[in-house]
């Protein structure tokens, strides 16, 4: 029975291989241009972060946290967290990882939020996107790491593209949830005052859905950080490299320290970007 099924095997893998081959043969210049631009932008941001002394970066991060949250505890935690990373000797990999996460999150937000808004207003689009988003979230990351590696070559760009594919369903889904969860009474009130669809979106729906959208962005950041080690397998710099090196050499101390730096960076970004809690009146 098994031979009967395999005798009629669909050549799905061969079709995908042929498609990647066609893209590689006829559109390689375009992929090279994208790789050059994205790689240059990430390297420029990394160079800027490394140009500043660590103390300046710490102070800027603490000032931003104070401006957003007015919390001395958070400011102290950020200063101590970055001081520990610098003390462990992982300041440069941390800034490289931060650059990758910033670009991945920005790309996911620029694409995911408009797509989430469009799917919230068009049920047919949401129905069409749902299986695609399920596939992007559940398929093993190494599966789409292979074609991105072939098309974009070694370096940070295939890691960035793979990270975007893995993380972008979060802002799309949560933006859709936030827009569809806006109370109908608020929309009806806006329509009663003569608001257009664009005014309803910017002045009613987006402000009401902002906490949910911010939760999607925070989740996108966490998913991007979870891809750091996998991106290092295709040549991306950052904290993933010492983790992979520690795994290959069974170096427990290096793996623990690099993993701790990833956790610290994730906690800092989560606390800074978390929606401030509203005080009860």
| Per-residue model confidence (pLDDT) at position 171 | 92
CA torsion, points 262, 263, 264, 266, in degrees to nearest 10?
Answer: 90
At 230-278, the pLDDT tens digits run: 888 887 888 888 888 888 888 888 889 988 999 999 889 888 887 665 5
The answer to whether 158 touches 31, Cβ cutoff 8 Å, is no
The answer to whether 145 touches 230, Cβ cutoff 8 Å, is yes
The answer to whether 125 touches 104, Cβ cutoff 8 Å, is no
With a cut of 80, say whether residue 12 has pLDDT above it.
no
How many other β-carbons are positioned within 10 Å of the β-carbon of residue 203? Answer: 14
* Share above pLDDT 70 across residues of the chain, in percent, rounded to a whole number: 94
Q: Give the relative orientation of helices 252-273 and 91-121 as an angle to the nearest 10 degrees.
A: 50
- Cα(52)–Cα(58) distance, rounded to whole angstroms? 10
- Cα(94)–Cα(100) distance, rounded to whole angstroms? 10
At 206-242, the pLDDT tens digits run: 899 998 998 888 888 888 888 888 888 887 888 888 8
∠ CA 78-80-85, nearest 5°, is 95
How many other β-carbons are positioned within 10 Å of the β-carbon of residue 45? Answer: 17
Q: What average pLDDT score do residues 152-156 get?
A: 81
- What DSSP string runs through 3-33? HHHHHT---HHHHHHHHHHHHHHHSHHHHHH
| Per-residue model confidence (pLDDT) at position 277 | 53
Q: What average pLDDT score do residues 22-42 get?
A: 84
φ/ψ of residue 47, rounded to 5: -65, -40
How high is the mean pLDDT of the chain? 86
Quickly state the pLDDT bin for 172 (edges 50, 70, 90).
Answer: very high
């Amino acid at each position: 029975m098994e031979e009967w099924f395999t005798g009629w095997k669909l050549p799905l893998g061969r079709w995908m291989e042929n498609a990647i081959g066609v893209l590689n043969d006829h559109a390689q210049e375009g992929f090279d241009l994208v790789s050059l631009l994205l790689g240059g932008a990430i390297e420029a941001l990394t160079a800027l972060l490394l140009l500043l002394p660590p103390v300046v970066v710490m102070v800027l991060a603490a000032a931003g946290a104070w401006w957003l949250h007015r919390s001395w505890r958070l400011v102290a935690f950020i200063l101590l967290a970055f001081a520990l990373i610098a003390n462990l000797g992982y300041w440069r990999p941390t800034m490289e990882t931060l650059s990758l996460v910033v670009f991945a999150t920005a790309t996911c937000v620029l694409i995911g939020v408009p797509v989430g808004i469009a799917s919230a207003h068009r049920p047919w689009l949401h129905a069409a996107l749902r299986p695609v988003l399920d596939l992007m979230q559940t398929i093993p990351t190494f599966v789409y790491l292979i074609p991105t590696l072939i098309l974009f070559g070694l370096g940070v760009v295939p890691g960035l593209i793979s990270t975007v594919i893995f993380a972008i369903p979060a802002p799309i889904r949560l933006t859709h949830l936030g827009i569809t969860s806006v109370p109908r009474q608020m929309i009806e009130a806006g329509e009663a005052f003569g608001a257009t669809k664009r005014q309803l979106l910017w002045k009613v729906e987006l402000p009401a859905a902002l906490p949910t959208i911010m939760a999607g962005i925070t989740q996108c950041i966490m998913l991007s950080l979870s891809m750091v080690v996998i991106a290092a397998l295709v040549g991306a710099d950052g904290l993933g490299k010492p983790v992979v090196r520690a795994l290959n050499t069974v170096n427990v101390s290096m793996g623990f320290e690099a993993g701790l730096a990833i956790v610290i960076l994730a906690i800092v970004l989560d606390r800074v970007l978390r929606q401030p809690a509203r005080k009860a009146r």
